[in-house]
Amino acid sequence: MKRAGSDLKLPSSLYLETTSRCNLKCKGCIQHRGSWETPRDLSLRELISICDQLPVIGRVALHGIGEPLLNAALPDMVRYLRGRNAYVFFNSNGILLDPDRRDQLIEAGLNELRISLDAASPEGYTAVRGSDQFARICRNVRAFSARIRSLNASGPKLSIWFLGTSENISELPGMVRLAAAMDVREVYLQRLVYFQDHEGYGLARPEKTIRDSDLRVTELIQESARIARDAGVQVNASGCGDPLASLQTDANCATPWKRCYRPTTLMYITAAGNVLPCCIAPFATCDYDSIVLGNAFESSLAEIWHGPRYRHFRERHQSQQPPKSCKGCGLLWSL
């Protein structure tokens, strides 16, 4: 881990929340509780102003708490960033992935699209996401896969991201089968992130998490892996290659959060301009002010990156008593 000093290079990796608006209120998302900020879209001009401050941009995620496809400027944002030679991707619930948007994203050069789909059935989807749009999403993803093939396009790469909880983990094997049927070759299991300093909301509660000590969970993941091998699909985990390994913690490491690279390598900027240490932070603490390290509409990125709040955050991150938002990393969810 690099030391928290003024010689730290500006990040080349950005998470830019293109909108804080969403068309769902999923039970595992902060939107279910109520967003931290007033809903708004990031404009193309604002995005360019932010990115022009960085000499090198390697990787940009165009998502945050909202649904990126709600921002009409999204294809132009992708096009600008691809012109900067950045690898560009975002998560989407897929509801708005209609023919026009599919073609716009292909033409803009999007590298990767991650579809957040937490169930393999309409009933399971409604239970987790409170929506009846499951069939529409599956049609959209299947059609996008076919469109990419028909154009012989190099991208975007498609993947499914499955937020695993005790309520829906039984649908993971079916999710792998569904991914194969939609011609999506990667499925990622995400662990549930929840407040460390509050009782939580919706599904985002400690008792809803999946654990490696649960034999049922282990068997379901192993079954999913067997199905994936037969179907030519990869089952991975966010932050860790192996899903089972992502559920395990290093009992020999008393301070696993110190291994996290995010405070010294990336910036997460919300649609309101607030700079946060990472995309996990707003889901991990109810003390939102404690994770706001500056505002990109009020100060330069260099002033924020080398400023006192960021330095103090990095120093605490490398201590025995890290910021509230970091305490669960490497323990309750994968790094």
Instruction: Report the pLDDT value the prediction gives residue 330, as an integer from 0 to 100.
Output: 78
Of 300, 309, 298, the C-alpha closest to 276 is 309
pTM attached to this predicted model? 0.94
Pairing of strands 266-269, 275-276: antiparallel
- Is the omega angle on the peptide bond into residue 156 within 30 degrees of 0, that is, cis? yes
- Spatial CB neighbours of 72, under 8 Å, sequence gap ≥ 6: none
CA distances from 175 to 110, 116, 185, 245 (A): 24, 11, 12, 20
Q: Which two tokens stand for residue 169?
A: 């983990």
Instruction: Report the pLDDT value the prediction gives residue 7, as an integer from 0 to 100.
Output: 80
Instruction: Report the pLDDT value the prediction gives residue 12, as an integer from 0 to 100.
Output: 95
- Whole-angstrom distance, CA of residue 244 vs CA of residue 153: 34
- Spatial CB neighbours of 24, under 8 Å, sequence gap ≥ 6: 31, 67, 93, 95, 129, 130, 131
Instruction: Report the pLDDT value the prediction gives residue 254, as an integer from 0 to 100.
Output: 85
Per-block mean pLDDT, blocks of 10 residues, the chain (335 long)? 69 97 92 88 98 97 97 98 98 98 98 97 96 98 98 97 95 98 96 88 90 87 96 88 74 83 96 96 93 98 98 96 90 74
Return the C-alpha torsion angle 233, 234, 235, 237, nearest 10. -150
